[in-house]
Amino acid sequence: MKRSILFDTETTGLDPATGDRVIEVAALELVDDLPTGECYHVLIDPERDIPEEASRVHGFKREDLIGKPKFAEVADGFLTFVGNDPLIAHNARFDFNFMNAELEACQRPILSAARMVDTLEMAKKRFPGLPNSLDALCRRFDIDLSARTTHNALLDCKLLAEVYLELMGGRQRGLGLVDQRGGGGSAVYQRDPARKPRVMAPPSPEECAAHEIFVDGLKDPIWLR
């Protein structure tokens, strides 16, 4: 099984080099590209003010974070959760830069760029020239955005997990199969009883005629037996 970690941050601004800090970190565990339900989530006291323009994005004000742990207090918990597995994020360099600035400041190991999986780069290759923000991708893949009134690291992770799955090829939902593991660990696939059968439109006269022409060109076609 392949384990990976999908994560997101919220910050006081755009650049850790000018003193901006991380205020929220969320991470979801994926196994074979599917969420397991295991997650890491923490709010952090940035030990500084939060500009109004940043608050408009994520909804957090300075008073909301007073009394929350400092980054140095949560760093080890984050590193333990992510382990050595690949790290998935949307516009991943932004999150890596902020996390590494915080980790370096509290003398913890930084995140290697070799672990980086950037869903923004994946989306740009698949949809060149189109908007590829998280919101745009959710709309493109018909993923419900109704709960996303502001940026929220944990909610954004859950949305990104669905987007990432689609970017990796999707669940092939149309097959309607359920993976049921037997006692020996083998997979038994059954039709999902919750899935409604799709109503197929009857073929048009033109399609029927084209099929007859195709069949006539075959040697001993099974349709005529």
pLDDT of 93-116, one tens digit each? Answer: 999 999 999 999 999 999 999 999
Summarize pLDDT for 194-205 with one digit per residue, the tens.
444 444 456 677
Per-residue pLDDT tens over the stretch 154-163: 999 999 999 9
**pLDDT over 70 (residue 225):** no
pLDDT 10s digits, 110-155: 999 999 999 999 999 999 999 999 999 999 999 998 877 666 899 9
To which residue do tokens 């323009």 refer?
Answer: 53
User: What residues are labeled active site?
Assistant: 151
The answer to whether the annotation marks 53 as part of a ligand binding site is yes
Q: Is 58 annotated among the ligand-binding residues?
A: yes
Span 9-54, pLDDT tens digits: 999 999 999 999 999 999 999 999 999 999 999 999 999 999 999 9
Annotated ligand binding at 45? The verdict is: no
| 24 marked ligand binding residue | no
Phi then psi dihedrals of residue 152, to 5 deg: -145, 125
Residues 217 and 186: their CA atoms lie apart, in Å, by: 43
Find how far residue 108's CA is from the centre of its chain: 26
Task: Tell me which range, 66-70, 188-192, 215-219, is most confidently predicted by mean pLDDT.
Answer: 66-70
Are 33 and 1 in contact, with CB atoms under 8 Å apart? no
